[in-house]
Amino acid sequence: MAYIDPATAWMKYIIFMINFVIWVMGGAILGIGIWIRADSDFWEYHNGMNIPQYYQACYVVITLGVIILIIGFFGCCGAALDSPCMLFTYFVIMVLVVVMELAATGLVWKHADGEKFQDFLTTSIKEQIDKYIAGDGDSGRFIELLQLHLECCGGRDKDDYHEDDIPQSCSSDRTNNIFIHGCGENLRRYLEQKAGAIGGVALGLVLVQILSLIFTGCLFCILREDATQAY
């Protein structure tokens, strides 16, 4: 049996464990992507608003989740089989995945920049309200859904309606009081929660992946040097 340096053996175990963590986190990212995709309210908001970044990021996240599940397993095999070729391939793919993760996070967070984003949402909602008041059925359904589910009224507040035209969806079922928050503010918070879930897991995963890249690079160099000496 060939002698295995203890440091090399420990490095292989560490890479194996890190890739197991990456595999689990890849499953978490896939789950979040499916959770957002399956949220019917989210897609109603997307269809009524011009926020394509969230739509694009959802499918990027699902794709990343599947890829990470595969390469996590691939990295474990590369360390277990002492294959420099597999480790190098894994290293290159992992770098590309990290770039994709940062791109997905950037797509989601590009618009989630506080007051500016809220102003954009408020203006868009007020445009839908104007169509609703003019008799547009699609805009009416969208505004009713928005106000009921987010417990808000108007784009900025209830003053976006004439006092006699405030719909019932602006009022709480429990107290019958009109909601004090505008839908622009509440929708921004809703979207930021989705972005935070994606960004938080992605950031943690990127840190783990960088650690994996460091150890994988070291193990690759050791195995390549051993292969060179063997010849």
Answer whether residue 37 is part of any domain: yes
pTM: 0.65
Alpha carbons 161 and 202: distance in angstroms, whole number? 41
Instruction: For the chain, give the number of residues.
Output: 231
Q: How far is CA 123 from the centre of its chain?
A: 25
Q: Digits of tens for pLDDT over the chain (231 positions)?
A: 445 567 777 878 888 888 888 888 888 878 877 877 776 666 566 566 656 566 666 777 788 788 888 887 777 777 777 777 877 888 888 888 888 777 766 665 555 556 777 888 888 889 889 888 888 887 888 888 889 888 999 999 998 898 778 898 999 888 889 999 999 899 888 877 777 777 777 778 888 888 888 888 888 787 777 666 655
Answer whether residue 190 is part of any domain: no
Same domain, 39 and 61: yes
Answer whether residue 2 is part of any domain: no
- Residue of 201, 231, 225 lying closest to 84 (CA atoms): 225
Alpha carbons 174 and 231: distance in angstroms, whole number? 80
Answer whether residue 56 is part of any domain: yes
Same domain, 103 and 216: yes
Q: What's the token pair of residue 104? A: 């997905």
Q: What's the token pair of residue 143? A: 């505004």
Alpha carbons 136 and 222: distance in angstroms, whole number? 68
Contact 68, 94 (CB under 8 A): no
Alpha carbons 153 and 156: distance in angstroms, whole number? 8
* AA identity, residue 104: A
- Residue of 163, 125, 159 lying closest to 142 (CA atoms): 125
Alpha carbons 208 and 184: distance in angstroms, whole number? 36
CA atoms within 13 A of residue 50's CA, in its CB half-sphere: 8
Domains in the chain, number: 2
For residue 177, count other CB atoms closer than 10 A to its CB: 9
Domain with residue 142: its CATH number is: 1.10.1450.10
Answer whether residue 66 is part of any domain: yes
